[in-house]
Amino acid sequence: MFIDEKKYEGKSIIQGEKGYLEGTADCLKQCVDWIREYDFNDYLEIGSLYGIMIAFLAKAFPDKRFSAIDPYDSIVRPGNSLAGNRELKIFIGNNHFLDNVWLYRDYSRNVLPMLKEKRNRFDLIFVDGDHTHEAVLGDIAGSWEILVPSGILYFHDSPQEGIAKAIKEHSEIIGLTPMKDKDSGNNFFRKP
């Protein structure tokens, strides 16, 4: 089911899948709270799909910078349907008029090293890309290198097996225990 319009703090968002929006509402609220509380300026989203979350944030904080990484190619969805162009068109529709949103249309394994090389740094990184253990490990390692001190690395769907295992392994490597977002139950790390 598609939604035509939703509102967040008086700002409208145009398109997206109803279940997706409902599934990320707690994460969106948590990101808003952190951006306000810590005055974060640079946000990175790995796996953006419809671009709903990033559009909400960019509209709510027009003076901040928001970047998304998503390849938008033959994404496998439940029921084995292939998608990509449809989601990209919706992302563009939701974000094309925003001056503070950038999209890197490629895999995170390619973009994260490029961002590091260009010395891009982020205060808040939201990981919701490929949920396989290997991909999440790569996203964590690449993100950790471009996360500023006191920055937050936040995971959607962290109870899922591949994600949970990658978080546990990273936790052992860096010697930090992941914290839990009280509303969504998702894990995050705060970089020392």
CB count within 10 Å of CB 185 equals 11
* pLDDT for residue 11: 43
Looking up tokens 């559009």, which residue turns up? 55
Is 122 part of a structural domain of the chain? Answer: yes
Looking at the 3D structure of the chain, how many domains does it have?
1
CATH number at residue 79: 3.40.50.150
Question: In this predicted model, what pLDDT tens digit does every residue of 35-48 receive, in sequence order?
Answer: 999 999 999 999 99
Question: In this predicted model, what pLDDT tens digit does every residue of 58-103 receive, in sequence order?
Answer: 999 999 999 999 998 755 544 434 456 788 888 998 898 899 999 9
Q: Is 119 helix (H, G, I), strand (E, B) or coil?
A: coil
Q: What are phi and psi of 20, to 5 degrees?
A: -65, -45
* pLDDT for residue 90: 87
Is 4 part of a structural domain of the chain? Answer: no
Is 34 part of a structural domain of the chain? Answer: yes
Indicate if the alpha-carbon torsion angle 79, 85, 88, 94 is positive or negative: negative
Range of the domain at 160: 26-190
Is 6 part of a structural domain of the chain? Answer: no
**pTM exceeds 0.85 for this model:** yes
Q: 107: phi > 0 → left, psi -120 to 50 → alpha, else beta; which?
A: beta
Is 18 part of a structural domain of the chain? Answer: no
Are 32 and 19 within 8 A, CB to CB? no
Question: In this predicted model, what pLDDT tens digit does every residue of 49-58 receive, in sequence order?
Answer: 889 899 999 9
